[in-house]
Chains A and B, each alone.
Chain A
Amino acid sequence: MSAFTLPSASLLSQSVLSGIFVGALYGLMGLGLSLSWGLLRLINLAHFAFAFLAAYLCYELASRGLDPLLTLAAIVPLFFAIGAGLQGLVARFAITPFNSLLLTFGLTGLVEALIQSVWTADFRKLESSYAEQKFKVGTLFVPVPELITLVLAVAISVAVWAVLRHTDLGRALRAAAEDAPIAAAFGVNQKANALLLAGTCAALASIAGVCLALSFTLAPSQIYAWIGVVFAAVMLGGLGRALGPLVAGTLIGVSEAVTMAVTAPSWAPMVSFTLLIVVLVLRPGRAA
């Protein structure tokens, strides 16, 4: 068998669709990370742990009969509070961006241990009515859980973009990230805004977690499997940009899927990082 095979049209189109779906999840997961990194200067590795914790909570509540999407009503406020609490801690101890990386890495380990102690290290799969649902458009199969993820990712990214672009709060957040003392001089309440933004970022992680639980099998150790590719999407998309992670995530997802369709799946991880290197070389200011 040669390493390169010419895919059939249906194989290629299905792969592109699959890439769009997984890319939307990369984007949704990267959105909160990008905002936190770009606007708060907090490199929050615990973002992935929050997403998985939310996924497990969704699994737990859904296994007690609750609709997985309805669990968002409880999970999102909870994670908003957790995110705001973490930001309070970071502000209280004036933790630098580099130290925030270390702090949140440690926190990730703690959350992983917590998940493992409650749900064990065994694999968990959320069984819901959505999992069974799919429909066909021409020759393409469209699974409903992935479609939900895509719709949520697009809707939330656009909403966040609109808030950042067209509201006073958005302008204040961007101004504080640009030049905090000047923003403060203009009356921007940075402390309150930071708490609000950090809470929102954690809430976004929890929404990504629910989407993760809808489509993927869960294991505590898989927290780390997402870090590399989502970081690539965040950096490609530009820090603090609302639509960037979604666009970059989709680009990475489609590139990976097409790579898997025409060559070997083991080549796929190289795609995201090659794209990242190329962009950083050609446009070094992108991830600043």
Chain B
Amino acid sequence: MKTFRSTRRGALVAALATVLGAIALPAATQTAAAPVRIGSTLALTGPLSATAQIHRIVGEIYVEQLNKRGGLLGRPVEWIVKDDQSKPDLARTLYEQLVTADKVDLLIGPYATGAILSAMGVAQRYNKVLVHHTLGIPALAKYDMQFPAWSLGSDPATTVPNTIFDALAAGPKPPKTVAVVTNKFPSIQFMTAGAREVMKKRGLTEVLFLEWDFGNRDFGPIANRVKDAKPDFVWVGAIGLDGNLLLDAMKKLDYVPPQHFYLYPAPGPLVSLPEAKNALSVTIFEDQPPFTSAPGAAEFVKLYRERATKAGLADPSVETQAAASYTAWQILEAGVVATKSLDDKAIATWLKANKVDTLQGKLRFDGLGNFGDDLMRVKQVQNGHWVVVWPKEVTSGGAKLIAP
């Protein structure tokens, strides 16, 4: 009897196990599809952290969208992001850790030139593809399997200043004298040096040249020097908040620069400053037509606006940093999808031979340092908004450069 009952109980347990097993099977199969792990660092703390927040939000949006589309190769995607504290040396260690300890499948770049170069060294050592966000000096990109998402072109120190001076020359008051003031941050100094050469070739007179160290606090004397030099145009090799601080200092002296340009400003804080009226800068993407007509752009712009507002960012609109970040993910996804593999060499070979549809348009990677075309445009603060004013074919609603 005992045996019978025991046998019957055993049969019941077996049946139950079979049923539960059948129910659990899809879930188990899903668990078996381990996620594709993509590793990166971002400057989540430290002096570059304000801009890194943009890249964090973009990465989260992209991974969510990617997983909604079914992930990569039918597997969900997991993004492992570590804080490099704005320190290139720490970025190097963390990328090493991502490859050797976390054993990620793919790498994606950090933001800012110093950290990108550190990551590139590690990627090269382990033969990993590295798609990166905003490398400002293409000549430093020596590694064959690195791919830039910021379409600066191969010689931005010449082409970008030329675009800016073309815009000014076509404007209502072409400048004759220029004050050049710049941060000594490497990618800024590099572009400013190029701008000085371009100015010389164009016959413009440099009436002032000043440099300051990254992290400078007192812009009063610099504003004073600019005012004293009485230039037609001020080139500000600005990064982050330099432009705001300089304009604040100028305001205290009752000085308004006639025409003024800021290289890589924190776009939100600058546009919200009343003194930044008519300020010029450069961009690869703005939250306006025709940029927003790129496939997927409108949805991304909407999502980013929501998330950035929720995160308390001063400017929730998509511009260069967010666009370059999104582009980096698009490039990596295109490589994996086209090759149907996570093989770094196959992805790199495909990317070098093909163009990728991105938020910025079709990008190619066959130029010097795998850079393609220079897609930098000139934008201006008009009525409290950034408006693209040059070249004409990408302006919205016939916007034109204003000179007071």
Contact = CB atoms under 8 A, between A and B. Distances in A.
B205 to A, nearest CB: 11
Q: Which of B52, B215, B254 has the most CB of A within 10 A?
A: B215
B252 A141 contact: yes
B393 interface: no
B52 A22 contact: no
Contact of B215 (A21, A121, A122, A225): A225
B75 to A, nearest CB: 33
Interface string A1-26: 10000011011001100110110000
A12 to B, nearest CB: 9
Interface stretch (B298-306, B308-316, B362-370, B380-388): B308-316
A106 interface: no
A268 B218 contact: yes
B291 interface: no
A170 interface: no
A274 interface: no
Q: Is the interface of A mostly helix, strand, loop or mixed?
A: helix
Contact of B225 (A119, A141, A220, A260): A260
Question: How many A residues touch the partner, as a band?
Answer: 35 or more
Nearest to A218: B241
Contact of A18 (B206, B215, B220, B266): B220
B176 to A, nearest CB: 17
Contacts of A260: 218, 221-222, 225
Q: Which of A1, A7, A216, A221 has the most CB of B within 10 A?
A: A221
A261 B221 contact: yes
A134 interface: yes
B244 interface: yes
A146 B218 CA distance: 12
Contacts of B252: 134, 141, 143, 146
A22 B220 contact: yes
Contacts of A253: 218
A62 interface: no
Given A1-B206, A15-B220, A266-B211, A261 B241 contact: no
A125 B244 contact: yes
B312 A120 contact: yes
Nearest to A215: B248
A217 B244 contact: yes
A120 B53 contact: yes
B49 A121 contact: yes
- Which of A8, A134, A266, A269 is the most central at the interface, judged by chain B CB atoms within 10 Å of its CB? A266
B59 interface: no
- The listed residue with most A CB atoms (<10 A of its CB), out of B45, B211, B254, is B45
Nearest to B86: A221
Contacts of A1: 206, 208-209
A204 interface: no
Main secondary structure of the interface of B (DSSP, over half): mixed
Interface string A246-261: 0000000100110011
A56 to B, nearest CB: 13
Nearest to A109: B45
B106 to A, nearest CB: 26
Given A7-B228, A134-B252, A266-B184, A120 B313 contact: yes
B211 A265 contact: yes
B178 to A, nearest CB: 11
A11 B230 CA distance: 12
A113 B45 contact: yes
B254 A221 contact: no
Given A123-B244, A141-B253, A226-B217, A265 B222 contact: yes
B220 A219 contact: no
B46 interface: yes
A11 B227 CA distance: 9
Nearest to B272: A125
Given A1-B208, A217-B245, A22 B218 contact: yes
A123 B253 contact: no
A168 B224 CA distance: 47
A63 interface: no
Nearest to A131: B248
A116 B218 contact: no
A125 B228 contact: no
Interface string A33-75: 0000000000000000000000000000000000000000000
Contact of A221 (B47, B206, B212, B268): B47
Contacts of A119: 312
A210 to B, nearest CB: 17
Contacts of B228: 7-8, 10-11
Contacts of B269: 122-123, 125, 217
Contacts of A256: 218, 221
B217 A122 contact: no
A222 B86 CA distance: 13
Contacts of B311: 120
A266 B248 CA distance: 19
Contact of B224 (A14, A143, A266, A269): A14
A264 interface: yes
B49 A116 contact: yes
Interface in B187-239: 206, 208-213, 215-218, 220-222, 224-225, 227-228
Interface of A: 1, 7-8, 10-11, 14-15, 18-19, 21-22, 112-113, 116, 119-123, 125, 134, 141, 143, 146, 216-217, 219-222, 225-226, 253, 256-257, 260-261, 264-266, 268-269
Interface of B: 44-50, 52-53, 86, 184, 206, 208-213, 215-218, 220-222, 224-225, 227-228, 240-241, 244-245, 248, 252-254, 266, 268-269, 311-314
27 contacts: A1-B208, A14-B224, A18-B220, A18-B221, A18-B224, A19-B221, A22-B217, A116-B49, A119-B312, A121-B52, A123-B50, A123-B314, A141-B252, A141-B253, A216-B217, A220-B45, A221-B45, A221-B49, A221-B86, A253-B218, A261-B225, A265-B210, A265-B213, A265-B222, A266-B184, A266-B213, A268-B216
Return the 3 tightest CB-CB contacts between A and B, nearest first: A260-B221, A18-B220, A121-B49
Given A123-B244, A260-B218, 8 more contacts: A14-B220, A18-B221, A121-B53, A123-B269, A134-B254, A221-B47, A261-B221, A265-B212
